[in-house]
Structure 1
Amino acid sequence: MTTADQSPRVAVVGAAGWAGSRHARAFAKAGADVTHLVEKDERAASLAQELGAQMVPSVQELHSDDLDLVVVALPTTVQPAICADLLNRGFRVLTEKPVAADAEGAAIMAAASGAGSRLMVGYTLHHHPAVALLSQWVRDNDVIAVNVRSVAYKENIDSWRADPKEGGVAVVNGIHAIELVSSWFEGAPKVLATSASSSLYGSHVPEHVLSMLQFPSGVVFSLQSYWSPWQEPQGLNQGDWSLTIDVLAAGGRMVWSNESLHIWDRDGGHQEKNFAPSDLFLRQAEAALRFCAGEKPPVTFAQALRATEIADALRSTAAHGAREVRAP
C-alpha cells in the first residue's frame, strides 16, 4: 500500500483512447504516480513517455500490491469482464460509465468480489460545481418535471460507438443525465414513450433518442440525447458536450446549462451563477484519489446499476414500440 509520503499509484487500461488519455493526464495532474498504461500495441507509447509510465499489454501484468487504483476506459461491452477480474484479484477500480451496456454485463459486475466497496463508476457530472447546488435545490423543492437536452459533438459515428451492442447514444451519452436525475428520485420510473432515429449519420445504432419517463412520485423526466455533427459554441469537456437540465418545481425553476446556473422563484426573483470551465476529468481524478484513501465514491455500483436498468428499459421501448415499460 501507499505510504504517507508516497503518491498514489495508478494504472490506466485503454490509455490510447480519448477518455483513457484524459484520465491518465488528469491523474498525473492530480498528483498521482501513473505507473502503468495497458495497451495491446504502441498507440500509447508517446503518452507513456510523457508520464514516465510503463506500457504493458494486458491487465494480467498488473499486481494489486503495486497499485492503489486501476482506471478502466474501454468500450462498454468490454469493461464488465475486465473490471470483474480486477475486483476479484483485489484491486480498487474506477471504471468509465456506464457500469455495463445491458443486464448481462451488469450481472458480471454484480457477481464480482468488492463491487459494492472497491468500485467507483465514472459519472463526471457529479464533479461539476453546479451539481451540488442543483441537487440541493431539487431536495428542497416540490419538483414537477425535469427536462434534459444532452448533445455530444461527433464528426462520425464509427468504431465501437457504431456497434449495436454498445446501445447507441442513450447508453453512451444520455446515460449521464439518466444517472444524475435518477439519483434525485426514488423508485423505478415508468417509461411512457421513446422515439429513436439513426438518420443523422446512418449508423446501425440509435443516434437521436427522445424519451419520457415518470417516477413513482409523479415527477416527469423528459430526455433528448443525440450525437451532433455540428459543434455548439459552448459545452462541457472542452466544448464537445452541450448539456441543459431544466427543473420545474411548484415554487420556482432552476436551469443548468453548461457553465451557467439560473434560478427563478415564484415571485419572479432571478439569480444567476456562472462557473469557470471545469476539467471534469481532473475533478473526478481528485475524487478518485480520495476514494483510494477510504472515502465513499460519488457514484457506487448500485447507483450506476439503476441507471443501466433505466437505459435498458428505454432501449426496449424504442425497439419494440412498447408503452409504459417500468424499469426494473
Structure 2
Amino acid sequence: MVYLRPDLLWRHIMTPRVAVVGAAGWAGSRHARAFAAAGAKVAVLVERDERGLALAQELGAQLVPTTAELHPDDLDLAVVALPSTLQPVICADLLNRGFRVLTEKPVAADAEGAAVLAAASGVNDRLMVGYTLHQHPAAALVSQWIKNNNVIAVSVRSVAYKPKVDSWRADPKEGGVAVVNGIHAIELVSSWFDGTPKVLASSASNSLYGSPVPEHVVSTLEFPEGLVFSMQSYWSPWQEPQGLNQGDWSLTVDVLASDGRALWSNDSLHVWERDGGQYEKAFDPSDLFLRQAEAALKFCTGGIPEVTFAQALRATEIADAVLAAATSRARDVVSP
C-alpha cells in the first residue's frame, strides 16, 4: 500500500482549478505558469483583449474578457494581478461572490483605496495577499533569528530592474516605487515587529527616468520600542549580476542586534554572533512565484493565508506615511 504525505494528499484527491485575472501582464503570466507548474489546472484567463490568447493556448485555458464570467462553483482560486488601483474593487466583488482570492501585492495603492476591500465578505480568511518574500527559504531563518535576538536596527536595499518606467507604473495614482517595490520590505519588516512605526525622515526623487512618480525613495522609520528601520528602494536601468526573480530584483536585508548581525542578500544568508561565531548559508535560486503558487494551493483548500488582509493593510498604511513625509519634505525644499 502506498501512503502519501499529508502535504501532498490534496493533489491526489483533486486538481485545483485556478483563474488568473490580468494574465497578459508580467506578473499575471508568471502566476499562470507557476500554478500550472505547481500542478493546478489553469482553467480560465481573464483579459479584455486578445493579448492573453497565446498564453491561454499554451496552458489549455479558456480566455474570457471579464470576471463576471467566472463562477465560484467552477474554480478553487481566483488570482488577481492588476495595477494596484484596480485590484480592490475586483477582489471585493470576487470575495462577495464566494471565491478564495490571491491578490498581487500591495492590497491597494493606498489605504483609502483598500476601504472597499475591507468591507468585503470573507476578507480576513478567503483573501491571501501575494508578498513573495515570505516564500524565500531565508525569510523563516531571519524571522526566527530576530525572535531570538535584541534587534537594534534593520536596513533594507531593494532594487528592481526596469529598462523604462511607463504604462501603469508611471501613473501617480499607483504611488511609484515605494508602493510597487519598496512595499515588499515594508511588509516584511513590519511583520517582524509590533506597533506602528513613526517616519523620522523620507525623501523621493524621479531623476533616474524623469517619470511623474517617485522612482527612488529613502526613508528612516522607528518602531515604538526604539528599533530603527531604514529603507532604500528604487527602480534601476542597470541589471545587477545577481538577484531574485531571475535577476530582476536585488534585495539586501541587514539586521543588527546587540548580540549579532544577520545579512540576507538575495540567495545567501550570513550570520555573525557576538562571541565570534559565524555561519553562512547559500540557497539555490528560488522561483518565488512557484513557491507562492504552492502555498496558495494549500490556502485554497482551506489553509490560512500567508499574508492576511490586516497585515497587508498595515504595510500600505506605513507606505502612505512614507510617501506623505517625502512629499512634505519636497515642499519644504522648494519653499522660499
Q: TM-score range by the shorter chain?
A: over 0.9
Query: Are residues 1:211 and 2:198 paired?
Result: no
SS of equivalent residue, structure 2 residue 192? coil
Q: Which residue of 2 aligns with 1:65?
A: 73
Q: Deviations over 1:154-185 (max 9, x none)?
A: 00000000000000000000000000000011
Q: Which residue of 1 aligns with 2:261?
A: 253
SS of equivalent residue, structure 1 residue 155? coil
Q: Deviations over 1:127-168 (max 9, x none)?
A: 000000000000110000000000000000000000000000
Query: Are residues 1:292 and 2:300 paired?
Result: yes
The one-letter amino acid of 1:277's match is P
The TM-score, its normalising length taken from structure 1, stands at 0.97
Query: Are residues 1:103 and 2:111 paired?
Result: yes
Q: Deviations over 1:222-271 (max 9, x none)?
A: 00000000000000000000000000000000000000000000022220
In structure 1, stretches of 5+ residues that fail to align are: 323-328
Quote the Cα distance in structure 1 between the aligned partners of 2:125 and 2:239.
39
Which of 160, 163, 186 does residue 168 from structure 2 map onto?
160
The TM-score, its normalising length taken from structure 2, stands at 0.94
User: CA contact under 8 A between 2:72 and 2:99: conserved in structure 1?
Assistant: yes
User: Percentage identity across aligned positions?
Assistant: 77
Q: Which residue of 2 aligns with 1:326?
A: none
The one-letter amino acid of 1:134's match is V
Query: Are residues 1:176 and 2:196 paired?
Result: no
Query: Are residues 1:244 and 2:278 paired?
Result: no
Quote the Cα distance in structure 2 between the aligned partners of 1:107 and 1:191.
23
Q: CA deviation at 1:108?
A: 0.8
Listed as ranges, the matches of 1:1-328 within 5 Å are: 5-321=13-329
Quote the Cα distance in structure 2 between the aligned partners of 1:117 and 1:94.
11
The one-letter amino acid of 1:243's match is L
Q: Deviations over 1:21-62 (max 9, x none)?
A: 000000000000000000011111111011000000000000
Quote the Cα distance in structure 2 between the aligned partners of 1:243 and 1:68.
33
* 4+ runs deviating over 2 angstroms: 2-6
Quote the Cα distance in structure 1 between the aligned partners of 2:156 and 2:276.
23
Quote the Cα distance in structure 2 between the aligned partners of 1:310 and 1:101.
12
Q: CA deviation at 1:111?
A: 0.7
User: CA contact under 8 A between 2:76 and 2:301: conserved in structure 1?
Assistant: no
The one-letter amino acid of 1:33's match is K
The one-letter amino acid of 2:188's match is L
Quote the Cα distance in structure 2 between the aligned partners of 1:127 and 1:3.
20
Q: CA deviation at 1:7?
A: 0.4
Q: CA deviation at 1:5?
A: 3.4
Q: Deviations over 1:57-115 (max 9, x none)?
A: 00000001000000000000000000000001110000000001112211111011110
